[in-house]
Amino acid sequence: MTSATADYGWISPSAPFGYALGAGYSLVLVRGTDPEDVLRHAGAEPDGVLNGFGALAAEHADLLDEYDGWPDSTLAGVITVPGEGGEWTLLLELGGDALGLSPRFMEAVSAGTRAVSVTGNAGKPMTFLHWYEDRALRTGFEHPAHREGATPDALTALITAVGLNPVGDEPAGTDRTAAFFALAERLTGVRITGELLDQAVYRTGLVPEGTHDEDGPGL
């Protein structure tokens, strides 16, 4: 683990956030936008307030138990956090198709501002980062050597600084999830800690299936 990713050693299958690693998640950071507006852009139906990540995970587990197959909604919680240039909204979605991978959602929440997402696919070693400015994808990737967006080379120095390889494979043992979180911090100024997620009071919403799609509702 590099010095850049050491602050994200709490991201572990054995830690509370391990539930998100197993269920799949999107963590989205949006500058200067109210949490309620971020949930509205997600098409979310308000679902109350939950104290702490453990309660958010338990609520998601209960949602899964209500269905024989995959539920027709995902659970998202939002909080306000300090970052570069003022307050940011942090949205954490558990399960589902992943708001952080939805161009429709990311374009909507980044209108006139910046939005950054880190998304982990459940059960597979896949992590994605997307950086939007004013509705435009600047840089996005799963593997840093294969980037897309209007400015695919804009993050080359930062990608290298967090221990990833912008031109090839990472060295064996690279903690890619920690590196992606460290890169998101460099783009937002938001330091995400296990304590922050564990102790937060989340305003929650149920995101209906299809909201993630290009033609989905609510955006």
Where would I find the H helices in the chain? 18-23, 35-41, 53-65, 103-109, 156-161, 176-188, 194-199
CA distance 172 to 77: 34
Encoding tokens for residue 132? 């939007």
pTM for this structure? 0.94
pLDDT tens across 33-90, in order?
Answer: 999 999 999 999 999 999 999 999 999 999 988 877 677 889 999 999 999 999 999 9
pLDDT tens across 139-160, in order?
Answer: 999 999 999 999 999 999 999 9
Sequence spans of domains, the chain:
6-207
